Amino acid sequence: MQNKEVYDELVKKFEELYGRKPEIVAYAPGRIEVLGNHTDYNEGYVFSAAIDKGTFFAVSASDDDSCELTAADLMETAKFTTKAVAPAKEMTWQNYVTGTFNWLFDGNPASARHGWKGMFLGNIPLGAGLSSSAALEMCTVLALSKLYGIDKDRTTMAKIGQKAEHTFAGCPCGLLDQASSMYGAEGALVKSDFRTNEFETVSMGPSVAFMMVKSNAKHALVDGAYASRRQACEDAAKYFAGVLRKPVTHLRDVTMAEWVLYRGGLSETTAKRAVHPIGEDERVLQGAALLEKGDLKSFGALMYDSHESSRNWFENSCEELDAIVDAAKAIPEVYGARLSGGGFGGSCCLLVDPSAADKIAAQITKEYKAKFGDEPVCSLIKPSQGAHLV
Ligand code: GLA
């Protein structure tokens, strides 16, 4: 079992606190975003992967309508009943779980036959842009579905987690993080189409791996920058729907050539925001063809282009992430690098030759330290299996 030490610690703490073994345990991994940035809510394409770090959620039914939820790393417990499930202002970590519980019951958790005692523990670094919150939602939805005997497909479960983000955690995210956690597979990338919600896995050979480099720049998507980018994309889509003689509902429907011709009618800022997901969609489709041919160098070049687009157009990068990508460009064993996920801090995702991992980590750490005084965290990531019951 992957991350067995985390599982063992969780089960031990569960028994100590609740005086019984959990009935059900589920696991869900974090994710890296490899190509396709801020395309998901524009109904576009993404390459991502589930990572080898994740979160376990352990749960047992209670006899009445009471619920207890414990964050095992903090040993803090939230108590509520099935009749009073609402977004919390304190111990806000609970919102990912309670929001998921709420939407598993279509917003009416009071209809649940009984309450539950739950506890979770994971090893995904927080605030690193590796979707620890989606992992928590996905292990919660799997475990609670099993507990109540509710049968939902994986895409529906992913959407339940997304709804929890929107309404309980306050982040208007797309479906990427939850879908990657649900559909990840060992040694494979997930290629997602967020118009049709088709999720396909693409195997990667052993000669290539990902390295995540976590900057120390804070990454928080609930503070408005993410929401303002999403709004700009939606405004742009409305504009293109008005000027193009074809149906447009999302930026997915707009080509680069159309953007060039019609951008003049948009404000400078909205035009800059819109071109990013449009370019990213094209890069993911080109990338898919390159992966099929095994052309990693050219695929990596698209990752560098993606970062430039974030840096210059979408403005969701920052000094620290730019420095990591710039350092990566000088290392021949790195094929490509870009920010991963929402941006504004967090981590970069590097496509690397795994046999040179130590050299790459040392070089990037040296340059980052010279600039910022502290060290980034470099870790080799193995694309891994998606969420499952344990
Ligand atoms: C965050 C969001 C995702 C997606 C990415 C950017 O991770 O949660 O839905 O929009 O940013 O691609």
Q: What is the pLDDT of residues 81-109, one digit of tens each?
A: 999 999 999 999 999 999 999 999 999 99
Give the per-residue SS3 of 152-210. CCHHHHHHHHHHHHHHHHCCCCCCHHHHHHHHCCCCEEEEEECCCCEEEEEECCCCCEE
Q: Per-residue pLDDT averaged across 182-205, rounded?
A: 95
Tokens of 27: 């696991």
Beta carbon of 192 within 6 Å of any ligand 1 atom = no
Residues β-bridged to residue 49: 32
Gap from CA of 112 to ligand 1 centroid (Å): 31
User: What gap in Å lies between CA 72 and CA 56, rounded to an integer?
Assistant: 10
Tell which one of 33, 273, 338 to mutate to probe ligand 1, the residue whose CB is within 8 A of the most ligand atoms: 33
Residues β-bridged to residue 166: none
**pLDDT-based confidence at residue 224 (cuts at 50, 70, 90):** confident
| Annotation: CATH topology of 209-381 | Alpha-Beta Plaits (3.30.70)
Nearest atom in ligand 1 to 46's CA: 12
Beta carbon of 173 within 6 Å of any ligand 1 atom = yes
Tell which one of 41, 131, 177, 306 to mutate to probe ligand 1, the residue whose CB is within 8 A of the most ligand atoms: 177
Res 221: pLDDT: 58
- Helix or strand run (H / E) with residue 13: helix 4-18
Residue count (the chain): 390
Res 220: pLDDT: 62
Is the pLDDT assigned to residue 65 strictly greater than 60?
yes
Nearest atom in ligand 1 to 39's CA: 12
Beta carbon of 342 within 6 Å of any ligand 1 atom = yes
Ordered by start, the domain boundaries in the chain are: 4-204, 209-381
Beta carbon of 143 within 6 Å of any ligand 1 atom = no
Give the per-residue SS3 of 102-159. HHHCCCCHHHCCCCEEEEEEECCCCCCCCCHHHHHHHHHHHHHHHHHCCCCCHHHHHH
Tell which one of 31, 32, 37, 38 to mutate to probe ligand 1, the residue whose CB is within 8 A of the most ligand atoms: 38
User: What gap in Å lies between CA 161 and CA 134, rounded to an integer?
Assistant: 7
Res 373: pLDDT: 96
CA 165 to chain centre: 12
Res 222: pLDDT: 53
Beta carbon of 31 within 6 Å of any ligand 1 atom = no
Nearest atom in ligand 1 to 226's CA: 11
Gap from CA of 230 to ligand 1 centroid (Å): 10
| Annotation: CATH topology of 4-204 | Ribosomal Protein S5; domain 2 (3.30.230)
* Mean pLDDT for all residues in the chain: 96
Q: Return the ∠ at Cα 343 (arms to 339 and 347), rounded to 5°.
A: 50
% the chain with pLDDT above 70: 99
Beta carbon of 38 within 6 Å of any ligand 1 atom = yes
Q: What's the predicted TM-score (pTM) here?
A: 0.96
Beta carbon of 351 within 6 Å of any ligand 1 atom = no
Nearest CA to ligand 1 atom 10: 38
Q: Which amino acid type is present at position 244?
A: L
52 and 151 in contact (C-beta within 8 Å)? no
Q: Per-residue pLDDT averaged across 140-162, rounded?
A: 98
Tell which one of 37, 40, 171, 347 to mutate to probe ligand 1, the residue whose CB is within 8 A of the most ligand atoms: 40
Gap from CA of 229 to ligand 1 centroid (Å): 11
Nearest atom in ligand 1 to 37's CA: 12
**Catalytic residue ranges:** 177
Nearest CA to ligand 1 atom 2: 173
Gap from CA of 349 to ligand 1 centroid (Å): 14
Res 126: pLDDT: 86
- Note the pLDDT tens digit of each residue in 199-218: 999 998 778 899 999 998 87
| 3-state SS assignment for residue 68 | strand
User: What gap in Å lies between CA 361 and CA 250, rounded to an integer?
Assistant: 39
